[in-house]
Chain A
Amino acid sequence: MARGPGCGRQGFVRPSEAPRNAHVVAKYINQFTEQLLQALGMSVDPDSFAVSILGHVIAAMIHIFLLLNLVAVGALVFIWMERKISGRIQDRLGPTRVGGKFGWLQTLADGLKLITKEDLMPEGADPLLFRIAPYVSFCASLAAFIALPFAGQDMPFVAQHLNVGVFFILAVLGLEVFGVILAGYSSASKWALFGAMREAAQVVSYEVPLGLCAVVPVLLAGSMDLIFIGDCQTGWFTNWYVFHDPFTFIVFWIYFTCATASVNRAPFDLAEAESELVAGFHTEYSGLRWSFFFMAEYGSMLLVALLASILFLGGWNGPIPVARLIGLEEGGWLYATMWPGWGTYLAGLLGAVNVLAKGCLGITIMIWIRWTLPRLRIDQVMTTCLKYCLPIAAIMFLGATTWQFVIPGRAFFGFLPASQTAFEVKENWSDLLALPRQATSSPEDAPTHDPTPNPQPPPAAETGPKQTHRPANSPQPLTRK
């Protein structure tokens, strides 16, 4: 299906071809409400003003509830994991009392304790900014989950399907630094201020190589859409972008380093180092406000780990394509035994488990590194960023571009052909460029006449998918089965 300029204005995707989750859920809620009210004896017009609000508000609340749960429960689990892993690394047990032999509920008990603490504020502090700083951090951390998908293909598990997903997540991740700066400044304490400035400088500096590393999978996939990037890695683990070429392999490790520095985890956690700055920017915070900072930190850790898993590690595609092997995909035997749509939903659930497992793996490695390596000084942190991470990321980016130019359409370091179930390129702009093209045998229909006034009519020859300029080896056209 060509998505050329013939289908609607300026290449828009029609609403029917791009179901938006919230609208679908809202429609069902509205229908349910109408039936409920009819059963109760009242008849109400579902298109009226008051009732139409209800469906969408509840749908949005469900999405936010799920994301909030993910971040909060995730923070709970990861704090417990951190204490257990750090205990084992340090040859001790970690929490063992609350909630059974393994101390599952230790974090919950700590949270309850924090809620009961006294609500302090330093005397010289700015009241508004002091109170609002933890929530700014937490909101930035949570807002980035809006664009993060947990399963893809036909039924994406995403709160908002953005075309510029990668860019949006990186942008919102960079807003977390405001909470830190406000906390440090409004605490009226020089330790807090120093910690906040160092942390802000570190986070802002590491955003540059982080962005450069995140752009490499975008370049390989051809789109900033996270669902598209994940779907380009379907199949076996050989299709994952981390194994695509040696440059991307190195870029993954640089990305992981920059991500660890960007969320202020050790060995880059000078800003919160107990031995150096009392506690950095959250020195004056106690109780629930302090716990919000920590939820924001663990939320950001989860976010960058999930982003790494989608960009590099295949996202919702496991190392072995289980859903395809057991027939759960469309056209498979197991799919046919279920109600329509359920097979896709279950495959999506499997995918979500995959994504979360890879995210947890990333966080485990971050925890492991924290308790293994010594802390870096602030000048060493800046040196690592500006003298090592940034040049290496830039050179690897050039290398990945050159690789994609010279050996296109291959996977797993060039040994295997590209994935057979990869999806077509969604945007087909080549017919307007009037560039010399090869005649391809792709089953694309010719674009209809462009309705906008255009002095050069679109060429009558058939169009192919987005082409590169090399005549010799044109890339394998990626078509949907």
Chain B
Amino acid sequence: MITLPLANFLAQPVGVSQFVIVGAIMFTCGAVCMATKRNALGILMGIELVLNGANINFIAFGSPYLRSDAGSLGMDGQLMSLFVIVLAAAEAAVALAIALNFYNNFNSIDVDRANQLKG
């Protein structure tokens, strides 16, 4: 039947590696976003993507549904994830304040305009 390979695919639980792959894709997207965007807020969005990819990894390492041995992080994974979320919020606030100041001073949000140390 056509559904047989699909059935094998969807009938087994997922492991940590699938979560890590998703986290890797998020991380890479964030890194490319940071590298290519000229808008300061675009760079900030890249930072958020990177931190979220790392969060997915932490949660996956600490999940009892994905791995069963004693090497699992357990609740530590979720606790670390909590702190990453909090720190990401704090860092976004500061970065946004800096971006707003930049906009007010140079009337442009393009980071390529910030090429002087003077001022």
Contacts and interface: CB of A to CB of B under 8 A. Distances in A.
Given A10-B64, A50-B3, 5 more contacts: A9-B64, A10-B74, A49-B10, A49-B11, A452-B70
Contacts of B3: 49-50
Interface residues of B, number: 9
Contacts of B74: 10
B6 interface: yes
Nearest to A10: B64
A331 interface: no
Interface in B39-79: 64, 70, 74
A453 B71 CA distance: 12
Contacts of B4: 49
Interface in B1-48: 3-4, 6-7, 10-11
Interface in A43-72: 48-50
A330 B20 CA distance: 48
13 contacts: A9-B64, A10-B64, A10-B74, A48-B7, A49-B3, A49-B4, A49-B6, A49-B7, A49-B10, A49-B11, A50-B3, A452-B70, A453-B70
B97 to A, nearest CB: 16
A426 B10 CA distance: 34
Contacts of A48: 7
Nearest to B11: A49
A49 B10 CA distance: 9
Interface in A443-481: 452-453
A197 to B, nearest CB: 14
A452 B4 CA distance: 38
| Residue with the greatest number of chain B CB neighbours at <10 A, chosen from A9, A49, A50, A452 | A49
The 3 closest A-B pairs by CB, nearest first: A49-B7, A49-B3, A50-B3
B74 to A, nearest CB: 7
Contacts of B64: 9-10
A50 B70 CA distance: 36
